[in-house]
A and B are shown apart, each in its own frame.
Chain A
Amino acid sequence: MTQVTNDNRVELLHCFFSAATHDASAAMCRWTGGLISMQLDEVCEIPLEEVCAEYDFGDGPSTMIVLSLQGELGGDMILSFDDNNGRRLAATLLKQPLNAAAEWTPLEKSALMETGNILGCAYMNALTRLVGTQLVPSPPTFLQDYGASVLQQALVAQAMTCEKALICRTRFEERGAALDWNVFFVPSDALRAAMQDALDN
């Protein structure tokens, strides 16, 4: 099933994603006044058909911020929350009480998109340094959709050339306690190859 420890190539890529997560965590910590940090959860290669079962997003839709890499080296970053946690983060950032209304306000969406932007830029800056090619994320997109649908959409580019998906998952902590938030980073084949070249050199 999941190959994490026995695949040397994936373990080497783990170094890249650790460095990127470290920088993103520092940025997240600054943005949230020391409240939230990030830890690299796993880097794995997994058969495409097992992705749905491996990552259980639950029955309902999730709240997500998506950033796509622009240029030759593509990839997608998905910041995923359940709705309550997303609302809670927005309230903390805006220094407002938790909004109980069903609809997200533009200000709440903006707070979450800015979080994705800060996190994504720090992450991509670290990868840029390591790969040696400029990685530029798109403006963030706010989505409320099935997490599995969005992750699968991000995997389509990989599916064109291989049967296994490379996924990097990062978890969040609030003062050391685990949060039910995740970042999924799905590099394109071109970015995977560039990372491999950088490791070989």
Chain B
Amino acid sequence: MLATADAKTIASVQTAGMGQAVMGRHAESLVAVLGSCIGVAAYHPRSHVGVLAHVVLPDSNGRSGPPAKFADTAVPYLLELLKAEGVNSTGLTVKIAGGASMFASSGPMQVGAANIEAVGAALAKAGLHVAAQHVGGPKGRRVTLDCRTGELRVEIAGVISAIL
């Protein structure tokens, strides 16, 4: 795909790394590759502005760090980003994906499930309803938010599994 795309197309794709949030408009696409992390996509259909956060952990417990890293700080941060662009939370469409439990680890076994729950709670606290979700399971996901349409494409192992 990249081999035939022009520079404008390449520049229109932004990737959210771990703990990052990215914003796009109109023809831009926002991408994240997720394991136990959650991709939180918020989209305003009238202004065609979207944001995507790559949430790593459920709770900041008051510690500092990139705001999009934790569920409890990521949701307010996304709203701040949108507000700074003149987009308020009324009419936002929110979709989430990720939260897999991929392989046995000596680390936190249930972090995927904890992330799903914490993101849901943070969104509810902010008065936001989850319009669609594709969460859990044992496999990683690549999610792409199309800022023209607000569609969230979810791929598992290279195969499109859902359009939310």
Q: Which single residue of chain B is at the shortest CB-CB distance from A190?
A: B106
- Indicate if the CB atoms of B36 and A49 lie closer than 8 Å: no
Q: With contacts A48-B18, A49-B18 known, is A188 near B66, CB below 8 A?
A: no
Q: Are A53 and B103 in contact (CB under 8 A)?
A: no
Neighbouring B residues of A38 by C-beta, 8 Å: none
Interface centre among B34, B106, B157 (most CB of A within 10 A): B106
Q: Is A143 within 8 A of B103, CB to CB?
A: yes
- Check if A115 is an interface residue, CB within 8 A of chain B: no
Contacts A49-B20, A156-B36 given; does A149 touch B100 at CB 8 Å: yes
CA distance A53 to B18 in the complex (A): 10
| With contact pairs A60-B158, A156-B111 given, residues A70 and B106 touching in the complex (Cβ less than 8 Å) | yes
**Among the listed A75, A145, A160, which residue makes an inter-chain contact with B139, where contact means beta carbons less than 8 Å apart?**
A145
Q: B102 near A: Cβ within 8 Å?
A: yes
Known: A52-B33, A145-B140, A159-B69. A153 touches B103 (CB 8 A): yes
Contacts of A138 in B (CB 8 A): 104
Q: How far is the CA of A186 from the CA of B108 in the complex (A)?
A: 14
Within 8 Å CB of B33, what residues of A?
52, 146, 148-149, 152
Chain A interface main SS type:
mixed
- Inter-chain CA distance A154–B104, complex, in Å, is 10
* Chain B interface SS verdict (over half): loop
Roughly how many angstroms separate A20 CA and B69 CA in the complex, as a whole number? 32
Q: Which residues of B contact A50 (CB under 8 A)?
A: 17
Given contacts A48-B69, A159-B69, contact A152 B18 (CB under 8 A): yes
Q: Is B19 an interface residue (CB 8 A)?
A: yes
| A61 and B103 form a contact (CB under 8 A) | no
Which residue of the partner chain A has the closest CB to B107?
A157
B51 within 8 A of A: no
Please judge, given known A-B contacts A145-B140, A159-B56, A163-B65, whether A68 and B34 are in contact too, CB under 8 Å. Answer: no
| Pick from A49, A59, A69, A144: contact of B106, CB under 8 Å | A69
1/0 per residue B94-112: CB within 8 Å of A?
A: 0000001011111110010
Q: Are B108 and A157 in contact (CB under 8 A)?
A: yes
State whether A53 and B15 are in contact (beta carbons under 8 Å apart), knowing that A59-B158, A145-B157, A149-B35 are contacts in the complex.
yes
Closest A residue to B17 using CB positions: A49
Give Cα distance in the complex from A46 to B57, angstroms: 18
Across-interface contacts of A160 in B (CB, < 8 A): 57, 107-108
Given A144-B157, A159-B56, A163-B66, A153 and B35 touching (CB < 8 A)? yes
On chain B, the residues within 8 Å of A144 by CB distance are 157
Are A52 and B107 within 8 A (Cβ)? no
With an 8 A cutoff between CB atoms, is A71 at the interface?
A: yes
Q: List 14 A-B contacts (CB under 8 A).
A: A48-B17, A48-B19, A48-B56, A48-B66, A49-B18, A49-B20, A52-B33, A60-B158, A61-B157, A76-B107, A143-B102, A146-B140, A149-B102, A152-B33
Q: Please list the residues of chain B having a beta carbon within 8 angstroms of any beta carbon in chain A.
A: 1, 15, 17-20, 33-37, 56-57, 65-66, 69, 100, 102-108, 111, 139-142, 157-158
List the 6 closest A-B pairs by CB distance, nearest first: A149-B140, A74-B106, A157-B107, A153-B35, A49-B17, A149-B35
